[in-house]
Structure 1
Amino acid sequence: MTDKMSRSARRNKKTTKKKTSGKRPIWKTILFTILFIGLAAGIVGGAVGIYWIATAPDLDPDKLNVPLSSTLNDKYGEPFTTLELENREQVKYEDLPQVLIDAVVATEDARFFEHKGIDLRRLGGAIVANITDGFGSQGASTITHQVVENFFLSNEKQIKLKVQEQWLALQLERKYSKEEILEMYLNKIFYGNNSYGVVAAAKSYFGVEDLNDLTLAQAAILAGLPQRPTAYNPFRDPELTAYRMNTVLDLMVRHGKVTEEEADEAREVDIVAMLAEPEESSTKYGAFIDKVADEISEKLEGINIYTDGLKINTTLDTNAQERVELLLTDTEANPLNYGSDNVQGAIVVTDTKTGAIQAIGGRRNSTGSQELNYAIDKRPNLQPGSTIKPIMSYGPAIEYEKISTYHQINDDAPYQGPGMEKPINNITRTYSGWVSARTALSQSLNVPAVKLFEEVGADRAKSFGEQLGLDMPDDLYASDAIGGGSLTVTPLEMASAFSVFGNGGVYTEPYAVESVEFPDGSTVELRPDSEPAIEDYTAYMITDMLKTVFTDGTWASGSMGGLPVAGKTGTTNVDDGSAGDRWFVGYTTNYTVSTWVGENIVDGKRVGLPDSVDWTIAQQMFRETMLHVSEGIDTADFQQPDSVVKLAIERGTNPPELASDHTPAAQKVTELFVRGSEPTTTSEKFDQLDAVSGLNATYNEDDHSIHVEWDYDTDSDVSFAVSASVDGGSIQELATTEDMSLDISEVEAGAKYTIQVVAISNENNSITSEPASTSITVPGGDEEEEEEENIPPVSGLSATYMEDQGIIDVSWNYDGPPAAFEVTVNGGQTQTVQSQGIEISGTFSPGETYSISVTPIGQEGDVRGDSQSTSVSIPQAEEPEEPEEEPVEEAPEPEEDEDDGEEAPPEEDETPDEEEPSDE
């Protein structure tokens, strides 16, 4: 029994140990799970991959030679052009020069002749980059891949298409030789300038008929073009072409295709000098199509609008496009005279609300081919002139400091701030003292713009410009405040920035393409989103100031047919101080138009515009464009937002004070304030004192005098001016006294004296009261006069302004002998009526107070009753800004400084000194 129990115990013990040792560690469970998931994913992924490969298109040889044309539709969906392949020539591999083969292979696929269609080393690097930086961040496309993509697949960044691309690349390598694949590539690729294939490109750019005549520099340029054919087009941007050529040469040196010495020699070539004459193109609206090509290239990588069979829905307004092209072409139908064959010009029209580009005129007398497009191509020497002032100075000051349009700036003298090498001058070398922000901007004064820029600070000015879509330099200086610094712009960028002011502070990136439809029916929407960029009060207040440019500013002579329009002039200067560029950017609630004239090239050097070019040429371009596109449509005025307050301010007050009821109309100005920062103090400069009361005149027979006395109940420090007239004659001042009585001695017997008393402030003698008057007849006349002398004054005198009829209605009561009534307005205008009322018509000044007195006159006309007075105030109404200082402006210190036009060209002695560029 003991032995049996012992065996049971041992058996139980063994069983327990076996169970304990059978538990799987947690790490093994996790590892098993991961392996299982990985295996399952691999199976699923493999199945999906096999499905994608199975559904890949066939390598149809016919497709290798069938490029597809693209159709472009205007904003209404109507086709306006078809981009057909008109310039393509084929080349055989054996006719390719080695220098071109080396340049292409070094640039696009260094191991092309070694791999089997897939470059595993390149693929591995791309996989790592896509994991770390996101899918699509780096590709591993070989030349074989690009042939597959161009002929058989779209270039969308989808895993499915990439898998199919790898599979088809392997198939292509099995079916065709490396030489045939490279031949396909070079015959298919789009090189820009309407050139398809390397043969057409060599002829188009360099006039080279035989590819074996290509130089190393030319081969490097051709090899670099396919990456960005529009941007690297040497006709459009030789500097960017040179940058790309240098990259290709560096790659050729790295891969042992040329020596460093050979590359350096190629870098010395003059790209412009070796270009052929550009050929004219039959494609309509070339400047606008340039923008379409740029936009699709940026947003849809690898898409070729000339070969991919696309339906492109654009924003083009053909009516606007035809107009700008007419205005930029020298024909009899063109109402503009540019004054010189050498100068260039550009016009851009955008939709103010949406940012949609309506029209682009890229240059004067365009041939239609892909030339330098001055409207959209970035150039290092194109400064904005004074058109930048709303963006660099006044806009940021309103946005961040909430200044008003009345904000006072001292334009007292040339200004030299901290760190400035020399002072900033106004173009006319004259200065206006304290001026409002409205006056300074509309007259384009330099000194106030620079001072305001320094108040705001460069960092906030830079941020403001970026919010309006401008590509701002890293550092801004005082010269940038007047458009003569390091900031460069294009007419399109300026149109886009100004449209934010016209659209209540909302920014939309300017765009030419609404959507793209591919041959398979799929569609990609490309319209950008709109977003608030600046405060609505900033947008409206800048707009309101820029409307003044057309009334009292630098283009007050510009007739815009009653359109509610805002805008800004601008001029830049070249080295000799003459005007190098002229700008005008303006907008309505519907359209924004940017115009530019410049780039006067003589003997290969950029010089100032000749005197034959009218100083208002950019304004004329603007007017002829804006009036045309606005014809026949409603143009609403800009709506004042709730964040803005409009107030009548008394001129000359600093800080601003509200105009009082007694401020003369000529001393009032209507200005805008950000709600919450408006002034609350009312000016007392022209306040009216209370009139005297109880005025009474009595005759003192003992000394033959008239005793006059009155009451004055306020504590104001005043004196009293006492005047009198005799028998209706002119009124003469008798004395000024601080007493409330006065004796008039040696009066004339039988004469009627009308006595008037006015209170005058002892602190400011321009502040007075309404006159109080009374009449008395000195005894001693004949009996008839004595019988008639008791003519009582009128009673119940009242005056009411009838705004709807534009009249003052005056009425009174009279209880006395027959009489006529003499009605006097403001002590001047007089009219005699028989009735007990009168309607006074005329032009009444808003905010003005009119004093009306009524005097009864006896039937014989020589006996008058006492005068009674009343007053009526005309309600305040918005009044137009009055002309202020004349436009003055001048540029700062940089190499090319600027400003904008004034009402007349500066006289000879107002021309900026040669060593100091100017800004209008």
Structure 2
Amino acid sequence: MADNSQSRTARRKQKKSKKKPLWKRIMLITGIVILALVIGVGALFTYYVATAPEIDASKLSDPFSSKIYDKDGELIADLGEKQRTKIGYDDLPQVLIDAVIATEDSRFFEHPGIDIWRIGGAIISNLKNGFGSEGASTITQQVVEKSFLSHEKKLKLKVQEQWLALQLEQDYSKEEILEMYLNKVYYGAGAYGVAKAAQIYFGKTDLSELTLPEAAILAGLPQRPSGYNPFNHPDLTKKRMNTVLHLMVMHGKITEKQANEAKKVDIPSLLTDEKPDTSSYEAFIQRVKKEVEKKVDGADIYTDGLKVYTTLDTDIQEHVEFLLSDSEDNPIPYPESTKDSEGNEVKLQAGMVVLDTNNGAIRAIGGARGGLEKGGWNYAIDGNGRQPGSAIKPILDYGPVIENKQWSTYHQLNDDKPYDLGNGNTVDNWHNKHPGWVSMRMALSDSLNVPALKTFKEVGKKDAKEFAEGLGINVKDELQTTDAIGGAGLNVTPMEMAGAYRAFGNEGIYNDPYAVTKVVFPDDREVDLKPKPEAAMSDSTAYMITDMLKTVITEGTGYRANIPGLAVAGKTGTTNLEDGSGSPDSWFSGYTTNYTITAWTGYGGQQLPIPTEYKVTPQLLFKNTMTEISKNIETADFKKPNSVVEVAVEKGSNPAKLPSDYTPESKIITELFVKGTEPTKTSEKFDKLDPVSKLKAKYDKENNSVNVEWDYDEDADVSFEVSASVNGGQMQNLSSTEDTSIEISNVEPGAEYTIQVVAVSNKDDANASEAKSTKVKVPGDKEKDEDENEENKGNINPVTGLSATYEGGNTIDVSWQYNGPPATFEVIVSPEGGAPQKQTVDSNGIKIDNAQPGQTYMISVTPIGKNGANRGVRGEPQGTSLTIPNGEEANGDDQENNEDDHPGEGPGHQGRE
């Protein structure tokens, strides 16, 4: 048994020693995997080829006609059925053939339909940058793609395209394929095929008349038909032409000398004077084209035979185009054309967008004043846009601060001086005024720059950028400080601004504005293009911004856009030229619960100032359009979400406080707070003051005076108004003092005095306590009085310290002092050139009403004894004069004219009226 066991062990070791080395096993496995991949790829490619469409000769001649439908499914355009002129290969001049071959497919006449060298280069590029980053399509492949396949960048379609290109080369000659290509390509400006393009751009119907520069332009156009349109972008056209000429030299089609001579040409000099006619709905169709190309991997509405279903409201589109037209019936005024720095006449341009607030559907686009030519510059959607001015404030400043810091609409901001940028420069408000502490609502309503910049600093550039990008604003670079007021590097288009503002009116939900709902291909394949909505902000932020923007319309800078009976929110925006000579851009973005509209005006690419009276044009465009499209439909107000609370706060409190029971109605304002952040403390500013206590009055025989005293809290910041009446007469103000006592001198014997004291806040004189009063009887001595009167008979002294002061409001205040036996005072007021008026008073002062500006008044005061032997005895009159100032002088400081030194507080002032 032992021998058998050993034998089995030996055999196992022998087998193990015969196994293959590890590297050979790895090579074997790798080979098997590669073989499987080759077989799999081969099978896949075989499947792709087997499922490729058949070559249909009928589809090789012309591009398919694409049909465009409005929001109701009504046909609005049949693109591609016109603007074609078919030509044969024999009609093509050699210079055009050379330009096209050098530009599109230099080995066209050598390869069998696909170019292996170009495919190799494209594979390397795609491995580095991802599939679809670079193509290798020959002219034959382009004909196949435009005739039978979609533009999607998928491996299956690329395989089918190459297979069909090989097939096409078997059935047609190179000349026939080139003829197909040049008849099929879209050249912009509505031109299909090279013959129509030559006619539209150069006015030539015979292609043999084409020059080298013209042929180079035509060869370069198919890459970007709108971008290289020579009518609209001659500079870009020339750069593209030079590229084509360089390729022609490189491939031996022309000499370097010929290229240099051709490069000297002035592009506008080549063009025909008859530009293409404007097209109905062209501005909207341009947007449709961009969306389809972007969302369906380069599909072309002009050549692919698509059915495109859009969001267009033709009634709104036609009204917008009417407002941008030169019609005599147009209610919107526009300025006359002006001249740019080169002396060329330019007119004020406009771009306008109308969106559905609820879903972001584009209802209308106004692309340019006077209509838009095919391929023309669309000011509503093209380019990088323009500086937005103050219209950006809800997007970069106030929206982010509510979202991130839960500021209320009442939040206080100190606008006390220009904002210091820290580099020796400052930013001021548009009116160069500074109101001090203002609420966020008022700062936005009045479009104040200083509070906006301070808010932006609180938010921070990172959060501001993130908020703006969530609303579809393309922030390419880091934000600058003055982007907060729309005056730095951030540019926007009217489409972007409309999309952002729409989210404020749609409870914070954003999606890209869209013109296309779906596309149906010739094979009935359907693609849904509606974008998905996303929450860009909380509903509290959206509602609070909206509520403040309603104030902009009703009370602020956007009042010209106000529409009675319609709940409208919106914001103005203007920019400034560096030299301060005016505004090159004017904006208005506004919305209701149904529609959102953004309008822009300016001089296109020119930095020219808009005439001052026409800076309101965007508001007028908005108001007219919103009024028209809101007729006969219900427009609901914006609904406050549960996340927002309305709170009455005391105006001027900082931070916000609740009003007390004593806060005046005029000092209470209702503002919005994010729920949970509303104020809980009550203001004490207007709490009613406690009255004085222990008030008492005592007669001082030695000084013939009455001493008044009372108690009050020593820490209270108050003053005391002291008044008195004699023998039940009218209460007269005596003095205002911060002391808790006062002496009333020179009192009348036998008289009963009622003294009243009121505590008044030094911070707000409207806040006063309940009045407290006390009485005191002055003793009377008839015989003593008679003796004194007899002794002093004839000793009625004149008044002293007579003064007259103009208080404003047509009132003169006359006062004096008197030290002598009891007397009344005869006051005579004589206006210059007028009849004198006389009045007798017991007090040491009088107020004269109805004083006339520019009039001089003579005033005299005579004391008249009233007791005993002095009764009726007259003292020496004293006089003074006063001239009432004219006009604005009367609104200035009080005017005063004193004959004697103005007296201090003393006896007799208790009688002033």
Between 268-277 and 730-739, the greater mean CA deviation after superposition = 730-739
| Cα shift at 1:252 | 4.2
Q: Secondary structure at the match of 1:515?
A: strand
In the alignment, what sits opposite 1:660? 660
Alignment check: 8 A CA contact 2:558 2:570 kept:
no
Query: Cα 1:721–1:387, aligned 2, differ >3 Å: closer, same or farther?
Result: closer
| Cα shift at 1:99 | 3.6
Alignment check: 8 A CA contact 1:754 1:773 kept:
no
Counterparts of 2:6 and 2:664 in 1: how far apart (Å)?
A: 121
Residue deviations 1:48-87 (CA, integer Å, cap 9, x gap): 4334333433323222124322221212223222224211
| Cα shift at 1:142 | 1.3
Counterparts of 1:707 and 1:424 in 2: how far apart (Å)?
A: 60
Q: For residue 600 of structure 2, what is the amino acid of its counterpart?
A: W
In the alignment, what sits opposite 2:57? 61
Q: Secondary structure at the match of 1:147?
A: helix
User: Does residue 545 in structure 1 map to residue 545 in structure 2?
Assistant: no
User: Does residue 386 in structure 1 map to residue 382 in structure 2?
Assistant: no
- Which of 527, 531, 536 is the aligned partner of 1:533? 536
For structure 2, the residue ranges without an aligned partner over 5 or more in a row are: 338-346, 698-705, 778-913
- Which of 494, 498, 517 is the aligned partner of 2:497? 494
Task: Map 1:515-534 onto structure 2 (within 5 A).
Answer: 515-534=518-537
- Which of 369, 372, 376 is the aligned partner of 1:371? 376
Task: Map 1:821-860 onto structure 2 (within 5 A).
Answer: none
In the alignment, what sits opposite 1:344? 349
Between 717-726 and 358-367, the greater mean CA deviation after superposition = 717-726
Q: Greater relative contact order (Cα 8 A, min sep 6): structure 1 or 2?
A: 1
In the alignment, what sits opposite 1:190? 186
Counterparts of 2:103 and 2:14 in 1: how far apart (Å)?
A: 68
Task: Map 1:352-751 onto structure 2 (within 5 A).
Answer: 352-366=357-371, 368-378=373-383, 382-419=386-423, 422-454=425-457, 456-574=459-577, 577-599=581-603, 607-610=608-611, 614-675=614-675, 678-690=678-690
Between 329-338 and 763-772, the greater mean CA deviation after superposition = 763-772
Alignment check: 8 A CA contact 2:397 2:456 kept:
yes
Residue deviations 1:12-63 (CA, integer Å, cap 9, x gap): 8996676345545565555545544544554454344334333433323222
Task: Map 1:178-257 onto structure 2 (within 5 A).
Answer: 178-257=174-253
| Cα shift at 1:516 | 0.3
Alignment check: 8 A CA contact 2:352 2:599 kept:
yes
Counterparts of 1:392 and 1:591 in 2: how far apart (Å)?
A: 22
In the alignment, what sits opposite 1:335? 331
Query: Cα 1:133–1:344, aligned 2, differ >3 Å: closer, same or farther?
Result: closer
Counterparts of 2:616 and 2:297 in 1: how far apart (Å)?
A: 42
Alignment check: 8 A CA contact 1:71 1:312 kept:
yes
Q: For residue 610 of structure 2, what is the amino acid of its counterpart?
A: L
| Cα shift at 1:303 | 1.8
In the alignment, what sits opposite 1:80? 76
Alignment check: 8 A CA contact 1:721 1:760 kept:
yes
| Cα shift at 1:411 | 3.7
Q: For residue 147 of structure 2, what is the amino acid of its counterpart?
A: F
| Cα shift at 1:578 | 3.0
In the alignment, what sits opposite 1:124? 120
In the alignment, what sits opposite 2:100? 104
Q: Secondary structure at the match of 2:636?
A: coil
Q: For residue 567 of structure 1, what is the amino acid of its counterpart?
A: G
Counterparts of 2:758 and 2:39 in 1: how far apart (Å)?
A: 107
Between 579-588 and 256-265, the greater mean CA deviation after superposition = 256-265
Number of residues paired by the alignment? Answer: 759
Counterparts of 2:661 and 2:79 in 1: how far apart (Å)?
A: 69
Query: Cα 1:454–1:618, aligned 2, differ >3 Å: closer, same or farther?
Result: same
Counterparts of 2:686 and 2:260 in 1: how far apart (Å)?
A: 79
Alignment check: 8 A CA contact 2:61 2:183 kept:
no
User: Does residue 115 in structure 1 map to residue 83 in structure 2?
Assistant: no
Between 673-682 and 289-298, the greater mean CA deviation after superposition = 673-682
Q: Secondary structure at the match of 2:598?
A: strand
Between 88-97 and 686-695, the greater mean CA deviation after superposition = 686-695
Residue deviations 1:460-504 (CA, integer Å, cap 9, x gap): 544443332223342444443333333332221221222232223
| Cα shift at 1:200 | 1.0
Counterparts of 1:135 and 1:651 in 2: how far apart (Å)?
A: 63
Q: For residue 221 of structure 1, what is the amino acid of its counterpart?
A: I
Residue deviations 1:295-343 (CA, integer Å, cap 9, x gap): 1122223422122221111111122112101211233442222233532
Alignment check: 8 A CA contact 2:112 2:166 kept:
yes
| Cα shift at 1:447 | 3.8
Query: Cα 1:592–1:260, aligned 2, differ >3 Å: closer, same or farther?
Result: farther
User: Does residue 309 in structure 1 map to residue 294 in structure 2?
Assistant: no
Alignment check: 8 A CA contact 1:756 1:771 kept:
no
Identity %: 54
Query: Cα 1:244–1:31, aligned 2, differ >3 Å: closer, same or farther?
Result: same
Counterparts of 2:495 and 2:584 in 1: how far apart (Å)?
A: 19
Q: CA RMSD in A?
A: 4.3
Query: Cα 1:526–1:250, aligned 2, differ >3 Å: closer, same or farther?
Result: farther
In the alignment, what sits opposite 1:159? 155
Between 713-722 and 297-306, the greater mean CA deviation after superposition = 713-722
Residue deviations 1:270-290 (CA, integer Å, cap 9, x gap): 444543345454853111001
Query: Cα 1:250–1:131, aligned 2, differ >3 Å: closer, same or farther?
Result: same
| Cα shift at 1:348 | 0.8
Counterparts of 2:433 and 2:279 in 1: how far apart (Å)?
A: 52
Alignment check: 8 A CA contact 1:438 1:545 kept:
yes
Query: Cα 1:266–1:589, aligned 2, differ >3 Å: closer, same or farther?
Result: farther
Query: Cα 1:760–1:281, aligned 2, differ >3 Å: closer, same or farther?
Result: closer
Q: For residue 599 of structure 1, what is the amino acid of its counterpart?
A: Y
Counterparts of 2:564 and 2:238 in 1: how far apart (Å)?
A: 48
Counterparts of 2:416 and 2:763 in 1: how far apart (Å)?
A: 28
Alignment check: 8 A CA contact 1:758 1:768 kept:
no
Residue deviations 1:794-848 (CA, integer Å, cap 9, x gap): xxxxxxxxxxxxxxxxxxxxxxxxxxxxxxxxxxxxxxxxxxxxxxxxxxxxxxx
Counterparts of 1:690 and 1:558 in 2: how far apart (Å)?
A: 50
Counterparts of 1:326 and 1:195 in 2: how far apart (Å)?
A: 26
In the alignment, what sits opposite 2:887? none
Query: Cα 1:387–1:236, aligned 2, differ >3 Å: closer, same or farther?
Result: farther
Alignment check: 8 A CA contact 1:425 1:446 kept:
yes
| Cα shift at 1:96 | 2.6
Between 104-113 and 457-466, the greater mean CA deviation after superposition = 457-466
Query: Cα 1:379–1:56, aligned 2, differ >3 Å: closer, same or farther?
Result: closer
Alignment check: 8 A CA contact 1:83 1:283 kept:
no
Q: Secondary structure at the match of 2:179?
A: helix
Report the TM-score, using the length of structure 1 for normalisation.
0.72
Report the TM-score, using the length of structure 2 for normalisation.
0.73
Query: Cα 1:309–1:679, aligned 2, differ >3 Å: closer, same or farther?
Result: same
Q: For residue 483 of structure 2, what is the amino acid of its counterpart?
A: D
Q: Secondary structure at the match of 1:140?
A: coil
User: Does residue 766 in structure 1 map to residue 769 in structure 2?
Assistant: no
